[in-house]
Amino acid sequence: MVDKNKKYLYPVLCVLALAVSLFPVACNYIMTGGIIGEWIARVEELAAGLGAGKMYFFPSGDVIVNTAANGNAMNSNLWFFFSAVLYKLTGNIVLAYRISMIFLQAGTLLGAVLFFQRIFAKEEDKFAACFGILLYMTCPFRIYVCYEQANMCRAIVWMLLPFYGWAVAGLLQGGKRTKNLLLAGLILAALGYADAVMFVVVAGLTVVCGVLEKKWWSLLSTALSTALFAPGLLRLAQHLFLDYFADWNLYAGVIMDRGYRFGELFTVYAWKDGHPGMGLGLMICMIAGLWLWFVRGKKEECKIFKGITVAALIFMGMSLRYFPWDYLQRAGGFMQKFVALMETPGIFAEMAFGAFCIPAASIVNRIRKEENQLLAYAVPLIILVACIAICIFQCNTLTYTKVPMIF
Amino acid sequence: MWKKKPFVAATVVLGLLLLFLFIKLIMPCKEYHFEGGYAFETGVATSNTVIYDGISLTPGVYRIELAYETDTDLGAYCNVQDGTVYTGGLLCNGEHMYSALEKTEYEMWLYESTENLQVVLTFAGNGNLTTGNLKIVETNQLWTMLLTMVLFGAAVFYSVLAFYYYDKEHPVSKEKKQVFFFLAVISFIASLPYLYGCSYTGADLTYHLQRIEGVKDGLLSGQFPVRLEPKWVYNHGYADAIFYCNALLYFPAVLRILGFTVTASYNVYCIFLTIATVWISYYSFSRIFKNDTIGVICSALYTLSVFRIYKLVITTAVGEGSAVTFIPLVIYGLYRVFSEEPKEPKYKTAWVPIMLGYAGLIQTHVLTCEITALVTVIICLIYIRKIFCKDTFWELAKGAMGALLLSIWFLIPFLDYYVTQDVHIKHVSARTIQSSGLTLAHLLFHFWNNGAHTPADGSGVYHSHPVGIGLVLIIGLGLFLILWFSGAFQKMDDGFASFTKRISLIGIILLVMSLNVFPWDKIQDLHPVAASLVSSLQFPNRFLGWGSVCLILVFGFCLWYFCSKGSKAYWIMVAVALLGVTSSGMYLLDYVKMGQGYYELYNEESMGFGYISGGEYVIEGTDADKLSFAKPEVYGDVELLSYEKGCLQATLTCVNPSGEQGYVDVPLLLYKGYEAFCQETEEEIELTYGKNNVIRALIPAGFEGSLKIGFVSPIYWRIAEIISALTIAMLLVTGWKYRRKKDVKKEMQ
């Protein structure tokens, strides 16, 4: 009976996680707010180009200037090609949006399934994989990026990061090294075409971690991704070093004051200034993890998970308005422009919450193995309910408060 | 432990840090002088005009003194700016300019060296404004602030280290660790509004910040305890501290003196208050139920209760929010007095929580104390037969006497002024409160947010402020009543069940008293004393504080009942409590941030000095709007030769050559305690009420000399202070002896 339940738990949780994250797509319109205008302009331009036999691999200056696409100015249109074809075929931007969003959410689920299944590969760790997927799919920041900020470039990053993690985990676990190396390079390059800044951050992290841990394949995979993403990097270099896009008046100011206030990292239901918190599910996981450590004296044994937790804490620190981004920008030149291109230190909170899903899933797993059966069942159940309920609340609130833009 | 590597390393680092800070502290503070001047054109409004620029300074806390002359009040604003330091590297809100002042005197916090600090002025264009020389005075507050932070950090670090090694050698029980852990989690979540680096605006925020600044200024002027806030009401001195005890505000005031900003001091104080609430409520409820888990749950329900968040976070009613901290102690004390067996030896300490609770209430919020007294009277009436038992009566009397003695330092001046001074608070009996009452729907509401309306404006629950208690407590009450009337408690013949039954009824009464159907208007019509008492309540929602405590006790009792029966309903109740805390308390906390504006206040001058809320403590007839910084005014043939104004004091040299009495109005509000005498002859000079109730010194005919006016606490206030101090000392000694006796007994066993 128990095995049967376990068998069903996995698909049920995946479907549930996907379903709640698709709630806003049920609206037969595109909601206002965020930078949805930029996506529409990009797709329209791409579609028009397709008709005229022109391929806008990167958005034109007009699109960037008209939509004030500061942070995404260096990002390509590659990932919007599918939406543009849909729009070209149907002439219905809402339909193109809804189908793209369904694919995006499904893609994120697929990436999360592959990633968490790989890092929690043992049969006894399946429970952790389930909760990892759930936490990742219902992460408030991800929902915020997809629907409220409507930053499609960043939403694609959320989709691709688990795929990248999946390939990297494959490399760490050994076996089919060439395949995983190629995959990691390819996915990282694909991530670059979605968001050039995130490419630099993730590639940088890969190299630093690889060198520290003496995993030399990390250099290879990054080199491969750099080669594959060369057009994007060239464009980025033109902006950072040659002031090639001066006419676009891209934001070049400070970002430090746009960082998180400490308390904002822990909000659950509501937030402002584009600073969503970690949400209730992740918060309960963190509390449970601290409880296991402080009260039960049980520490996380996996070195990688410990490392990810430390990295997530560092990201959290970098997302704060107290992190000295101004000092980095004062270095001037490319550094000043690159940091400005991030637009907000909040992107590090995004990375922190995404990264926290991994140790959090492990914590649920450890709780599940507790001898106290009540605890072993109740805590995961509470986390499950918290994730689903808060995601539904978030989706409901934003569909309730956002005016339709295009029907 | 002392020889362990981490300890030695930490001690070396701490020693070096302390050495560095002490060197910095003993180094003389620098002064920077800049000469120049700027005349603003009348009728031309300007914004951020740079008066001085290119100022080089190293990190520190500085006082900006810009000389100026103006003939209008609040017509110009002086501030500093610097585009070269990092975001948050320069903290300052500036200061308004006043016709009676000759220079600005505000502080700024500079955390990074600069070469280009600018002093800027915003001028509204009204009247004349000329600026003069600039003096920037370094203070050592940056180093005192850092020293405080280092010492606090070291205390936390050593405590953690000590616990770590102690736990290794003598393992602390999991139960104890668990309690500590969950109380820390509750403290953290409830403190979140104070971890945003700003202060959320509430109706009372400025008033309470002024109170903190008042204590700070009072201490710096040499008063202890602070009776009149010297700088409040534009340096006229205000008697807030006499009527509204500020015992707990010494903590944030000391932080201010040590160099912390207004916002930081306030936030640290509120975090301290939150932690105190968590621990005190845990202590009280866990002792009542003799169950740590129920104590933790009740503590969470109480600390994250809608009422507490509404009072402390949303309206920023710091006094009432502070009083909430002490209510559980009173109910615990009353529980002990009325439900424990008087013949048991431990009964002899039942008065202690009552004393501490009442003393805390008196010294934080007198109105909450009045409501507490009402609840106590009701409970005493219910238990009237027990009152006649000598031991019970004696415990209650000891509690009351202890609270009185602990608070007598505040009560004597309070009563003295209330009886002898015709303050405005004695003239507010016409204010009715029934229309501000709640509807039943308010009590049943669960998903509160900060809202925009008070129930008084006839908008019902529509976007109302969270004046409720949350649905979870109502569910607990409903369940308790069902259990009670279905006879579940019949077999329980101990005093606990009967105490809870009575408390549930009192809780219901208090909730009804908060509704707009309760006939407050009719009660006010009965008698002038009733009218005054009811009017002073201001809002019937004040009863929700005690209502919440009563209903949390009832909820806790349900938990305890199911737990003692081994019923699964216990876990359902635990889940309901968790759901309540996460979906009501935490929900409300998030929406406070979403819907509330915020301030980032650094220096007190930016708040101004005039806000006194309803002006309850000025002498009746004073027009507070007409008070501003002012110079002395002479009448008759009196000639003023020199004048110097300090905090609550003034020294003036004058002559009155005529044969008639003349007088001088000094810009200090006249309260009992002010004295004036001639410095040469030590002859006392008569003081009376002058224009707008300021001090009027009557200058005798032919007077020539220096006149010193100052505030001196009457001798009987001082005696009262000594009595309170002796009581505290006696309690500490008794407590220490009791504890030692207990330890010796334990060791013997």
Backbone phi and psi for residue A260, each to the nearest 5 degrees, phi listed first: -70, 145
- Fold observed for domain B31-139: Jelly Rolls (2.60.120)
pLDDT at A299 over 90: no
CB contact under 8 A, B196 and A254: no
pLDDT in tens, B148-182: 999 999 999 999 988 988 998 899 999 999 999 99
pLDDT of residue A2: 46
Q: What is the pLDDT of residues A36-84, one digit of tens each?
A: 999 999 999 999 998 888 888 999 989 999 888 888 899 999 999 999 9
CB contact under 8 A, A321 and B195: no
Encoding tokens for residue A395?
């989706």
pLDDT at A6: 65
Interface check for A272 against chain B (CB to CB < 8 A): the answer is: yes
Q: Is residue A146 part of a domain?
A: yes
Can you tell me the ipTM of this complex?
A: 0.93
Q: Does A377 touch chain B (CB under 8 A)?
A: no
Residue A268 touches chain B, beta carbons under 8 Å: yes
Contacts of B594 in chain A (CB under 8 A): 270-272
Q: What mean pLDDT comes out for the span A131-143?
A: 95
Burial of B680 (C-beta count, 10 Å sphere; 0-12/13-18/19+): exposed
- A332 has a chain B CB within 8 A of its CB: no
Q: How far apart are CA B148 and CA B260, in angstroms?
A: 10
Tell how strand B76-81 and strand B114-123 pair up.
antiparallel
Q: Which residue in B has a C-alpha nearest to residue A290's C-alpha?
A: B181
Place of tokens 């009595």: B723
CA distance B121 to B266: 28
B593/A267 CB distance under 8 A: yes
Taking CB atoms and an 8 Å limit, are A266 and B189 in contact across chains?
yes
Please indicate whether residue B452 or residue A183 has the higher confidence score (pLDDT).
A183
Q: How many residues does chain B have?
A: 749
- Distance between B118 CA and the closest CA of chain A, angstroms: 20
Pick from A280, A295, A321: which is nearest to B178 by CB?
A295
Q: Is residue A82 part of a domain?
A: yes
Q: Tell the burial category of B437 from Cβ atoms under 10 Å away from its Cβ (0-12, 13-18, 19+).
A: buried
Residue of A nearest to B86 (CA): A326
Does B679 lie at the interface with A, CB-CB under 8 angstroms?
no
Q: Would you call B574 an interface residue with chain A, using a CB distance cutoff of 8 Å?
A: no
Looking at chain A, how many residues does it have? 407
Q: What is the pTM of this model?
A: 0.93
Contact of A299 with chain B, judged by CB distance below 8 Å, is answered with no
**CB-CB under 8 Å, A272 with B593:** yes
In angstroms, the CA B315 to CA B335 distance is: 31
Which residue in the block uniquely carries the two structure tokens 């509430």?
B202
Instruction: Give contacts of A280 with chain B, Cβ < 8 Å.
Output: 582, 586
Give the C-alpha separation, B385 to A99, whole Å: 76
Q: Over pLDDT 70: what percentage of chain A?
A: 99
Residue of B nearest to A322 (CA): B88
Beta bridge partners, B134, equal B34, B66
B568 vs A: CB within 8 A:
no
- Say whether residue A82 is in contact with chain B using an 8 A CB cutoff: no
- How many C-beta atoms surround the C-beta of residue B27 within 10 A? 11
Task: Report how many helices (DSSP H) and strands (DSSP E) chain A contains, helices first.
Answer: 18, 2
Residue A23 lies in a domain: no
SS3 readout for B543-559: HHHHHHHHHHHHHHHHH
Supply B650's token pair.
């003034």
CA-to-CA separations, A100 to A107, A110, A146, B456, in angstroms, rounded: 10, 15, 11, 50
Amino acid found at B650: A
Contacts of A329 in chain B (CB under 8 A): none
- Give exposure, B73-104, as e/b (b: 16+ Cβ within 10 Å): bebbbbbbbbeebbbbbbbbbbbbbbbebebb
Q: Which residues of chain A neighbour B580 with C-beta distances below 8 Å? A: none
- Domain boundaries along the sequence of chain B: 5-27+146-169, 31-139, 191-422+442-599, 632-711
Number of domains forming the structure of chain A: 1
Is A18 within the bounds of a domain? Answer: no
The rounded distance, in Å, linking the Cα atoms of A48 and A63 is 13
Rounded Cα gap, residues B247 and A144, in angstroms: 45
Give pLDDT, residue A191: 96
Are B86 and A256 a contacting pair at CB < 8 A?
yes
- Chain B residues with CB-CB distance to A291 below 8 A: 178, 181
> ∠ CA(A240), CA(A243), CA(A248), 5° rounding?
105
A264 touches chain B (CB under 8 A): yes
Query: What's the domain range around A277?
Result: 32-402
Separation in Å, CA A19 to CA A138, A156, A388, A395: 10, 18, 10, 11
What DSSP state is assigned to residue A37? H
- Give the per-residue pLDDT at B54: 93
Query: Confidence band (pLDDT; 50, 70, 90) for A1?
Result: very low
Answer whether B587 touches A (CB < 8 Å): yes
Query: Domain B632-711's class?
Result: mainly beta
Tell me, yes or no, if A374 comes closer than 8 A to chain B by beta carbon. yes
DSSP state letters, B615-665? -TTSBTT--GGG--S---EEETT-EEEEEEEETTEEEEEEE--SSS-EEEE
Residues A29 and A47 sit within 8 Å (Cβ to Cβ): no
Interface test with chain B among A268, A275, A344, A387, by most B beta carbons within 10 Å: A268
Q: Does A386 touch chain B (CB under 8 A)?
A: yes
Contacting residues of A for B86, CB less than 8 Å apart: 256, 324, 326-327
HEC sequence for B187-254: HHHHHHHHCCCCEECCCCHHHHHHHHHHHHHHHHCCCCCCCCECCHHHHCCECHHHHCCCHHHHHHHH
Give yes or no for A261 touching B (CB within 8 A). Answer: yes
Alpha helices per DSSP H over A243-332: 279-294, 303-319, 325-330
Asked if A239 and A74 count as a contact pair (C-beta separation under 8 A), the reply is yes
Do the Cβ atoms of A264 and B196 come within 8 Å? Answer: yes
Indicate which of B85, B87, B570 best probes the interface with A, i.e. most A CBs within 10 Å of its own CB. Answer: B87
Residues 6+ apart with CB under 8 A from A363: A285, A286, A288, A289, A292, A300
Which residues partner with B675 through β-bridges?
A: B710
Q: What is the pLDDT of residues A86-133, one digit of tens each?
A: 999 999 999 999 999 999 999 999 999 999 999 998 888 888 999 999
How far is the C-alpha of A152 from the C-alpha of A146, rounded, in Å?
6
pLDDT of residue A331: 84
Q: Are A374 and B571 inside 8 Å of each other by CB?
A: yes
Tell me whether residue B539 is exposed, middle or buried, using C-beta atoms within 10 angstroms of its C-beta: 0 to 12, 13 to 18, 19 or more.
buried
Any domain includes A19: no
- Determine the average pLDDT of the residues in A260-274: 91
Please list every residue in chain B whose beta carbon sits closer than 8 Å to the beta carbon of residue A261. 195-198
Assess A262–B contact: CB distance below 8 Å, yes or no.
yes
Contact by Cβ (8 Å): A8, A58: no
Tokens in use for B17?
Answer: 């840090």
Which stretches in chain B have pLDDT values below 50? none
Cβ distance A261 to B198 less than 8 Å, yes or no, reads yes
Name the residue with higher pLDDT: A283 or B746.
Answer: A283
Give me chain A's average pLDDT, please.
91
Give the pLDDT confidence score for residue B26 in this predicted structure. 92
- Between the alpha carbon of residue B510 and those of residues B206, B437, B449, the distances in Å are 30, 12, 23
- H/E stretch holding B687: strand B687-689
Q: pLDDT above 90 covers what percent of chain A?
A: 70
3 state SS of B439: coil
Q: Is the dihedral of CA B150, B151, B152, B153 positive or negative?
A: positive
Q: Kindly indicate the confidence band of residue A284, based on its pLDDT and cuts at 50, 70 and 90.
A: very high
B586/A268 touch (CB, cutoff 8 Å), yes or no: yes
